[in-house]
Amino acid sequence: MTSLRRPLIALLVLLAGAFAPLAAFAHSAEVEGIKIGHAWAPPTSGENAAVYMPIVNDRSDAVTLVSATTPVAESVVLRKGTGDDAQVYDALKLSPGQPVSLAEWAVHLWLQGIDRELQAGDRFPLTLTFEPGGAVELEIIVEDSPGH
């Protein structure tokens, strides 16, 4: 029995290492006390798409969302509103303990120049960068409405 235990432990360690990168690519995430909830995007057939999510800064100091990137779009901006009336922001300050909803009616992420039509069930990576705090990669799920 002891002779089987070592190979089994080695196999488990290898499997854990193989799946560790998947844990870093999450639908919800936390980085340095910044908690990001259910991240999702509605389906779209155009060249642009919105991404929504709740964020809470559980740190004792303010942090700023300074950028977002994804391989499925040419650029990502923070915006509020629609069409020609939309306002674009360089960054979003998150005060300690104050939840923020990146939502249709509020500031949200706007993907410009997406490389394909987004359909319900699609998934794609998106990286958020906070200062201070660092970067976190999320998995965005395309859904007709929030929740699976």
Q: Give the Cα separation of 147 and 71 in Å (integer).
A: 24
Contact (CB, 8 A) for 112 and 76: yes
CA 123 to chain centre: 11
Provide CB contacts within 8 A for 106, sequence distance 6+.
Answer: 80, 100
pLDDT, tens digit, for every residue of 44-63? Answer: 989 999 999 999 999 999 99
Residue in 57, 70, 64 with CA at minimum distance from that of residue 142: 70
Contact (CB, 8 A) for 130 and 64: yes
Q: How much of the chain exceeds pLDDT 70, in percent?
A: 81
Give residue 28's pLDDT: 83
The answer on pLDDT for 6 being more than 60 is no
CATH number of 26-142: 2.60.40.1890
